[in-house]
Each structure stands twice: as C-alpha cells, then as structure tokens.
C-alpha cells in the first residue's frame, strides 16, 4: 500500500471518531471534559495527517517525474525483443465489482459499516472499499452507498438496462428535483416590402420536471457466497450482478411503458404525443411494402420535428426483430440484412422483453419504439440505500420463502430516480404489432 493511501485510511478512522463526538452535541447532548480533550486531540491529529498527506503526495509526484525505466541506460531505451510482450499488467477493472465487494461485506456484517470496514481492512480488500465503508452514513435503518460506489453500480446497470445502453442522458437530481426548460415554439423570420412594419414574433417555452421516485429491489444472496473469505472476483461479481439485475429490469419496464400514475415514473409510451403513435398494419403477415412504409413512418415523425438524428435508435421485443430478420424480398434476399449487425434502417436496435407481446384484444400484439435517446433523461439521486436481514421472508411467484431456512441474506436496495424527455416530439411508437405471433 502506498504511503498516501495509508495516511488517508488513518485520517478516515480519526474522522469517524471525531464525527461520533460531534453527533453527541448535534443531538442535544454535551461533551464532558475527557471528551472535549479527545475532540481537540483528534482535530490536531487530523490536521497533522492532512499536512503529511500533502507532503507525501508531493514526494510521490516528484519520484514519478524522476523515475527512469529499468531498461534504459547510457545507450537509451532498449526495446524488448520482437514478439515479446512485457509486464507487469493491471487487470481491467470490472464495472460494479467494488460495489459488489461492498454489498458482500455489509451483508456479512449485517449492515454494520464499522464491522464491514474492519473486515475489508483485514481481508486485504482495495483501500477505496475500506475507506468508503469507514465513512459511509447510516440512514433510515439502512446504509447509504457512497457516491463513488453508487456511480459504479449505475455504470454496471448499462449492460442490463437497455435504455441506458442506448445512450440516455443521466443527470443528478438536486434535492430530489430537476426542472429542464425547453423551447416549444420558435421565432419566425419572414420577408417584407419597403416601408412595411416588421411583424412581431416570439418564442414559447415549457418545462420538463423530474422528481425522484423510489424504486426497490429485494435480492436474496447465498450465505455460502458471503462466507467466501477475502477478495474473490467471482463472488464479488455475483454479488454485484444480484444487486443490479433486478434494478435494471425494473427501470426498463417503467421507463418504457409506465403510465406515471401514483408513485411511478412516466415511460416512453405515455410521453409520446398522439400524433406520434402509429398503428401497425392490421394483418399478422403484412407485405414488405407495408412494413417498410410503417417503419419509415415512425422515422418520419421524428424527422418532421427537426430532430437531430445522430442518436436515434429502435426498441422492440426480440420476437419482432427475429421476424423482421426472417423477411425475404421477391428474389429471396434478406429484406433487412443489417439486422445481423443489430441495426435496422441504419439505426441501432435495443432488444428487451420488457416490451410485452401479449397486448391487444387477442393478446398477440407488441410495440416498436423509435426514439432520439440523447434527448431522454434519467434524473438520479446517487444515494442507494441498502438494508440486510437473515431472518426476513420474501415472496416468489406468490409463495413465501424463509431466508433463514434457505441460509440466505436478503439485501434490499432502494434507489430514487425519474425519467422524462426534453422534447416529447423525439418519441415515436408503433402499436398493434402482431408480427411473429405464430413463431
């Protein structure tokens, strides 16, 4: 461990003790003489460590600037023999791995962050995991995941949540709210004759308001996995995946199709204006010309709104894409060969089973979305709350399961976020899609 990281870790431990004393007065109590002396001593030690850290950082920087490669001598740098690749090598970090380590340690410590921090220190976990656990704050009976870990979890969600993968913009929610102004009407410039009054024009504005909605996931984690000692990449990856999968699938479900009622966010389907909701050809086996006109019509709705098309893409159920992939023209050639590269009419396709295939009166319809994803926003409160229990029960398919009997620890993850577009004209929805219903 570098000297700087060691000093930072010592300072974090002292700060924890200092905050505990400060909390006594914050809650209306008073410090006795011994506690006041300890408080003053902690202040002095923290100040001394901060000065040492500054000097150690300067020394490390100077050492790095003065370093000479080991293969460099009087004759200059010596190249390695052809065909040989030299190390040492640093493994590429896996998104969500440190968050998974934090979940595993907190679960083993039953949510006690100080015990988890000591376990991280004794188990040779990365220093930033130890420091995060040392300074993490309890809230409402749970543990608030620090911002750096929360950002890592959100990054790990991208492969799971198709909307994030398609390039939706993520923004912080300050105090749980965000208002984004948007232009709803532009000025108009026209030509006039000589000695003619210039017509008055103006702009109109609107707002997209995001307010934090609470999303929760209950994740059973095997106690055998929690008992794995030390840093184990496979165990940590499983813990991270357990944490993010349910959250990612829930976000897709609500950000795509939720109607915004009650405590739910409003999804793409209900943000779309009526003019941009287009019925598909009514037959289950339309002609290629009908399909092409329908898909082109969805694209035209976005183009007619003067949307920059660089970040557009499709969302659909896998059933729909596989049916389009099987289409042939009159010569037997694939109608949309670019589907092999997960493209349709030149734009990327996101597949998700969170778009149903059992809509409509006969339960055989689905939907297709064409969206400018750069204009979509996910507002996020970066604090994720984790709670742990080895005794609680949970339901699976209507059946109650005892975590104690199954030798599991339940991890409850709660996050706060909302979803909305800057411009509602950037969403087009095809409804009544029966293609592939017989596959």
Please tell me the distance from the alpha carbon of residue 305 to that of residue 181, in angstroms, as a whole number: 18
- Going by their DSSP bridges, the two strands 312-316 and 366-372 should be labelled as antiparallel
Among the listed residues 431, 307, 430, the one whose alpha carbon sits nearest the alpha carbon of residue 372 = 307
Please tell me the distance from the alpha carbon of residue 187 to that of residue 416, in angstroms, as a whole number: 38
- Tell me if residue 207 falls in helix, strand or coil: strand
- Res 349: pLDDT: 95
- Tell me if residue 170 falls in helix, strand or coil: strand
- Res 404: pLDDT: 86
Please tell me the distance from the alpha carbon of residue 200 to that of residue 313, in angstroms, as a whole number: 38
- Res 434: pLDDT: 92
Q: Note if the bond before 195 is cis, omega within 30 degrees.
A: no
pTM, full prediction: 0.62
The number of residues making up the chain comes to: 439
pLDDT tens figures, 45-69: 888 888 887 787 777 666 655 544 4
* Buried/exposed 329-368: b ≥16 CB within 10 Å, e otherwise: eeeeeeebeebeeeebeeebbbbbebbebebeeeebbbbb
Neighbours of 72 (CB within 10 A): 10
Place of tokens 């090598």: 89
Mean pLDDT per block of 10 residues along the chain (439 residues) reads: 68 80 80 84 84 76 55 45 51 64 74 74 72 58 58 61 84 73 62 76 65 81 72 63 73 89 91 95 85 95 88 94 92 92 94 92 93 90 74 85 85 84 92 86
Concatenating the DSSP letter of every residue in 219-256 gives EEEEHHHHT--S--HHHHHHHHHHHHHHHHHHHHHHHH
- Res 356: pLDDT: 93
Q: Do 11 and 46 touch, CB atoms closer than 8 A?
A: yes
- Res 359: pLDDT: 94
């Amino acid at each position: 461990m570098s000297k700087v990281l060691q000093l930072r870790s010592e300072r974090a431990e002292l700060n924890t003790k200092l905050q505990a004393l400060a909390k006594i007065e914050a809650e209306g109590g008073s410090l006795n003489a011994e506690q006041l002396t300890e408080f003053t001593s902690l202040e002095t030690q923290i100040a001394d460590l901060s000065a040492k850290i500054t000097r150690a950082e300067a020394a490390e920087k100077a050492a790095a600037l003065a370093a000479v490669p080991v293969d460099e001598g009087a004759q200059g740098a010596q190249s390695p023999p052809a065909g040989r690749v030299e190390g040492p090598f640093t493994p590429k970090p896996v998104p969500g791995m440190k968050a998974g380590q934090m979940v595993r340690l907190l679960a083993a410590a039953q949510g006690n962050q100080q015990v988890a921090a000591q376990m991280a220190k004794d188990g040779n976990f990365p220093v930033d995991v130890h420091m995060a656990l040392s300074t993490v704050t309890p809230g409402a009976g749970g543990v608030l995941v620090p911002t750096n870990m929360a950002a890592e979890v959100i990054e790990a969600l991208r492969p799971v949540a198709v909307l994030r993968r398609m390039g939706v913009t993520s923004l912080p929610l300050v105090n749980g709210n965000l208002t984004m102004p948007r232009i709803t009407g532009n000025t108009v410039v026209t030509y006039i004759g000589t000695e003619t009054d210039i017509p008055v024009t103006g702009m109109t504005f609107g707002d997209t308001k995001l307010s934090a909605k609470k999303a929760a996931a209950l994740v059973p984690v095997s106690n055998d996995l929690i008992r794995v000692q030390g840093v184990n990449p496979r165990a940590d990856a499983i813990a991270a995946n357990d944490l993010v999968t349910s959250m990612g699938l829930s976000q897709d479900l609500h950000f795509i199709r939720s109607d915004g009622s009650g405590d739910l966010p409003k999804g793409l389907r209900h943000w779309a204006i009526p003019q941009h909701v287009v019925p598909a050809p009514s037959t289950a086996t339309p002609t290629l010309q009908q399909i092409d006109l329908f898909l082109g019509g969805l694209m035209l709705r976005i183009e007619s709104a003067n949307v920059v098309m660089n970040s557009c893409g499709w969302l659909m159920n896998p059933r729909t894409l596989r049916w389009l992939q099987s289409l042939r023209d009159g010569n037997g050639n694939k109608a949309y060969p670019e589907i092999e590269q997960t493209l349709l009419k030149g734009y990327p396709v996101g597949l998700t089973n969170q778009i149903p295939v059992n809509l409509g009166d006969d339960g055989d319809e689905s939907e297709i979305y064409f969206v400018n994803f750069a204009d979509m926003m996910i507002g996020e409160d970066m604090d994720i709350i984790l709670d742990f229990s080895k005794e609680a029960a949970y339901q699976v398919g209507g059946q109650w399961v005892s975590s104690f009997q199954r030798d599991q620890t339940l991890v409850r993850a709660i996050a706060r976020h909302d979803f909305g577009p800057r411009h509602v004209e950037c969403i087009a929805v095809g409804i009544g899609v029966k293609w592939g219903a017989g596959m």
